[in-house]
């Protein structure tokens, strides 16, 4: 099934919110701020940034911070995510762990890979995580 089309105004809003969220990143070790903004099925936008830790492995990516925040706020149905970092010369995708965590909430995500200047490339979770392992395989659909 193809991912749903999203109103351009909403896309721009989502992109602007992920750029804002990047400014909140707590990344003293990597100095690599990342911002994410999730569009929920009911039209809310929930943001996240990476939160690092002196015990490096405890770091949480921006995408997963946003997902966890969204779930706490009662959202489980999602439409899109915009993600940004400081890399200017090409579009950067979420790490593998984040792709898997997005898949937990369905394969229909639209993903906007966003550069710091606000330009973006649209892709999808389907494209970023082909042949996924998902809740379906555990009979949880
Ligand atoms: O998808 C990703 C990949 C990396 N990071 C963060 C984790 C770490 O704080 C920094 C460098 O890896 O970037 C994210 O937030 N999202
Ligand atoms: Zn990640």
Instruction: Provide ipTM, 2 decimals.
Output: 0.99
Angle between helices 8-22 and 62-72 (to 10 degrees): 110
Residues contacting ligand 1 via CB (< 6 Å): 27, 30, 32, 34, 50, 52, 59, 61-63, 94-95, 98
Residue 61, burial from CB neighbour count under 10 angstroms (0-12, 13-18, 19+): buried
Please, which residues bridge with residue 39 across strands? Answer: 45, 80
Segment 8-47, tens digit of pLDDT? 999 999 999 999 999 999 999 999 999 999 999 999 999 9
Query: Atom 13 (ligand 1): residue with closest C-alpha?
Result: 32
By annotation, the residues acting in catalysis are: 63
Ligand 1 centroid, distance to 6 Cα (angstroms): 26
Q: Residue 37: helix, strand or coil by DSSP?
A: strand
Ligand 2 centroid, distance to 59 Cα (angstroms): 9
Give the pTM: 0.96
Segment 49-107, tens digit of pLDDT? 999 999 999 999 999 999 999 999 999 999 999 999 999 999 999 999 999 999 999 99
In whole angstroms, what is the distance from residue 81 CA to residue 56 CA?
A: 25
Closest ligand 1 atom to residue 94 Cα is 1
């Amino acid at each position: 099934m193809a991912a749903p089309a999203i109103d351009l105004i909403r896309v721009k809003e989502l992109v602007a919110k992920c750029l804002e969220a990047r400014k909140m990143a707590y990344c003293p070790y990597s100095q690599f701020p990342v911002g994410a903004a999730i569009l929920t099925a009911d039209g809310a936008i929930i943001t996240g940034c990476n939160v690092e830790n002196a015990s490096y492995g405890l770091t949480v990516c921006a995408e997963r911070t946003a997902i966890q925040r969204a779930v706490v706020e009662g959202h489980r149905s999602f439409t899109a995510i915009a993600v940004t970092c400081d890399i200017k010369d090409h579009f950067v995708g979420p790490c593998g762990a984040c792709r898997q965590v997005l898949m937990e909430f369905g394969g229909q995500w639209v993903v906007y890979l966003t550069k710091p200047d606000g330009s973006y490339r649209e892709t999808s979770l389907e494209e970023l995580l082909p042949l996924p392992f998902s809740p379906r395989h555990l009979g949880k659909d």
